Structure 1
């Protein structure tokens, strides 16, 4: 796993729009009058953020702060998102926490007519974040030290590097993804139980299934519909099962997770279902 240190900050997100850039001082339009196309792009971006706000507010308590970067990773060799804004929001839902990407569905910078970016955002829901990495209401910074944030961050890099995965999900149904180099991780290696780690030092996730108990399609985004794609941590034996069985094994694993009552939740204390 290509882990490297980056400077993360918590940015205050206005109620009507998401943080416009990872660094609030970086705004290429501020020093000049924007063109009509740039103004339309910015309006679409703000409308997209407002739509995401409405959705997540209907699911749980949305933190006003987002986890973002002082300098966009795309400027330092990281994968490109549709815009330079790469952020993660925190939603508190009962005893669980949802960490969700924000920016994969941004309208593309310097491009028109391409819809809402990759037309997707990722999210992970779990109740198993250690106390030292779970901030109280109004404080999101500790989540940066959780296995859940490190996991969804790495999955987001992979998805962005692939240019999104909506077509693959439509074609293949649920997808599986292996994250190698587990022992090199900053937080997962300290927080995930051993039965989630394969003999060759990898962890696995399902993408797009099981279907969560919340709406996952946003039809009212300004440019094109957006899918919210669950990221579900699976055990080492479940990953081995998928490795050997392909699509049929993935579909069977999804059914078993549903039948076991696990669903889309990433639980560190559950037994393997295979």
Structure 2
């Protein structure tokens, strides 16, 4: 009796029709692997959703692309899914990557992608780009989304930075060419844009006011890495002082009550 006859409860009497040819073992194995990958990806998304639901009001829709940038010469994420979550926390909006921790397409045994996702939280998004609850598309026109997407591309090109964060605690990154940006240049002041047309961010610290490690992801633990905008004075401080300056800057931001949030109204802490 064929599987299909068993499934639909058909008679076990011999049929005059020829049996369907057996599926080659290799083809079956590939289908099983695809099914396992899809299940792990869905479980990963569910785990992230549960986490962000505990942080704030999660928008049902995500920010994404009609065509994945990986198909048009853009950065390669673990899968073709490149999206961004929107979490509303009072006056603040948290944007988070969704896909850097996806299982790799067509690769088994590699864990949850880059084993990390990035996030940026700020209350300083222009009114026209904030959207109302239930509306996420306007956020595409904010400096915060543009900044986070550029950082995500840089991180993806590097193959992730989870190990570097674990080793060094906090990293810094410079994004040059602000004058060529779509929204960063017009929405950030000279307080955050250096004379050489660059903005700087810290990656990995200061820590957020919620857990930043997910141990219950389906394949391997995933770290949530904050992206924190720093002022031009703080960028000069980091450029001159390296690791010691980064670590000191983190302590100063925490002592000032700034923490992981990107606050456009704050004074420099150096």
TM (normalized to structure 1)? 0.87
Q: Does 1:234 align with 2:230?
A: yes
Q: 2:188 aligns with which of 174, 189, 192?
A: 192
Output one character per residue of 1:38-72: Cα deviation in whole Å (capped at 9) or x when no partner.
00000000000000000000010000010111111
Give 1:172 deviation, angstroms.
1.4
Q: Does 1:208 align with 2:211?
A: no
Give 1:252 deviation, angstroms.
0.3
Aligned residues: 243
Q: Does 1:176 align with 2:172?
A: yes
SS at match of 2:156: helix
Distance 1:196 1:59 in 2: 27
Distance 2:167 2:57 in 1: 34
TM (normalized to structure 2)? 0.89
Output one character per residue of 1:114-153: Cα deviation in whole Å (capped at 9) or x when no partner.
0000000000000000100000010000000000000000
Q: What corresponds to 1:77 in structure 2? A: 73
Give 1:79 deviation, angstroms.
1.0
Report the structure number with the largest CA radius of gyration. 2
Q: What corresponds to 1:40 in structure 2? A: 36
Distance 2:78 2:191 in 1: 36
Q: What corresponds to 1:21 in structure 2? A: none
Distance 2:147 2:51 in 1: 23
Give 1:193 deviation, angstroms.
1.4
Distance 2:153 2:80 in 1: 13
Q: What corresponds to 1:9 in structure 2? A: none
Which blocks of at least 5 consecutive residues in structure 1 are unaligned?
1-31
Bigger proportion of residues as strand: 1
SS at match of 1:67: coil
Q: What corresponds to 1:10 in structure 2? A: none
Distance 2:71 2:40 in 1: 23
Q: What corresponds to 2:146 in structure 1? A: 150
Q: What corresponds to 1:17 in structure 2? A: none
Alignment RMSD (CA, Å): 1.1
Q: What corresponds to 1:245 in structure 2? A: 241
Q: What corresponds to 2:263 in structure 1? A: 267
Distance 1:243 1:189 in 2: 21
Distance 1:258 1:84 in 2: 36
Task: Map residues 12-51 of structure 1 onto 2, 5 A cutoff.
Answer: 35-51=31-47
Q: What corresponds to 2:8 in structure 1? A: none
Q: What corresponds to 1:94 in structure 2? A: 90
Which blocks of at least 5 consecutive residues in structure 2 are unaligned?
1-26
SS at match of 2:167: helix
Q: What corresponds to 2:132 in structure 1? A: 136
Distance 1:189 1:199 in 2: 12
